[in-house]
Amino acid sequence: MLDIDVYDNLPDNSEVALIHLERFFREKYLQDTKGPMTEADRNVHRRRYFAQVFGALRELKLAPDYANGEIPNISSIENLDFDILNDEIDHLVTAFKIRRARRDSGASVKFDGSAKAKLRHYLDQIREIVELSSGITDEKKDLLFKKINALQEEIERIRSRREVYGTFILYFSGIFGEAVERSKIQPLLESIGKVFWNAERSQNVPQLSAPNEMKMLAPPSEDTRSDVSLADLDAPETI
């Protein structure tokens, strides 16, 4: 994976982002130190790994979680015990993984085969409506396809996170302005919502509101419709 890929696709949650980055930095270090080399050369790669992790901790505002907030300066890494630094990073990443697992278990649902089949069917129908829609630009279609694919991937997981569903609903309920398109999309969004709600109810997960009457966002007026930007459509997702 290229550096630009890992940075462009970081999760919005800082702790999860650090987990991804640390794994990437560690794999790069292991790859760069595969062959025989002097200890001095190996230390060059070690310093780079620690500098990258510490830089990520600072930028992601996670410094207080590391060793009481005492992140070493880059200039002092050379004089520190690399094994201790490595243990401290392992300790932190393990803590973040546990937090993520606990968070996801309370904000996710597990679908059986029947539920997954229904969701796939609804998403295929929505994908077709988007493809045939004449009221949105190709750029906006690409963004909608991205959200469809994200939800499609999510439902194939062992447990599916509700925030991916929430982001999906937010995008689709706000983008379709023409009444005829809303009338096609709304029943499908409601059907998807019911599958999620039924799964939550059967698994005793803290439930979203029952999707009896999902209301679409009002379409923009003619005066403001042209002011909707791609930046507005690609708002950050939160967990």
pTM of the model: 0.46
Tell me the HSE value of 217 on the side-chain side, using a 13 A CA sphere: 12
Summarised one tens digit per residue, pLDDT across range 95-111 is 888 777 666 655 678 88
pLDDT at position 213 is 47
pLDDT at position 4 is 57
Interatomic CA distance for residues 166 and 237, integer angstroms: 9
pLDDT at position 199 is 83
pLDDT at position 72 is 76
Positive or negative, the Cα torsion across 185, 189, 190, 194? positive
- Write out the two tokens for 155: 């439902």
pLDDT at position 224 is 39
Residue 175 corresponds to which amino acid?
Answer: I
Tell me the HSE value of 59 on the side-chain side, using a 13 A CA sphere: 12
pLDDT at position 122 is 94
pLDDT per 10-residue tile (average), the chain, 239 residues: 70 87 92 90 90 91 75 74 84 81 68 92 93 84 88 87 78 61 82 86 58 45 39 37
Interatomic CA distance for residues 96 and 61, integer angstroms: 14
In the chain, domain spans: 3-106, 109-233
Intra-chain end-to-end CA distance of the chain, in Å: 25
pLDDT at position 28 is 92
pLDDT at position 218 is 45
Give me the count of residues in the chain.
Answer: 239
Helix (H, G, I), strand (E, B) or coil at 161: strand
Q: Of 39, 19, 27, give the one whose Cα is nearest residue 3.
A: 27
Interatomic CA distance for residues 87 and 54, integer angstroms: 14
pLDDT at position 67 is 65
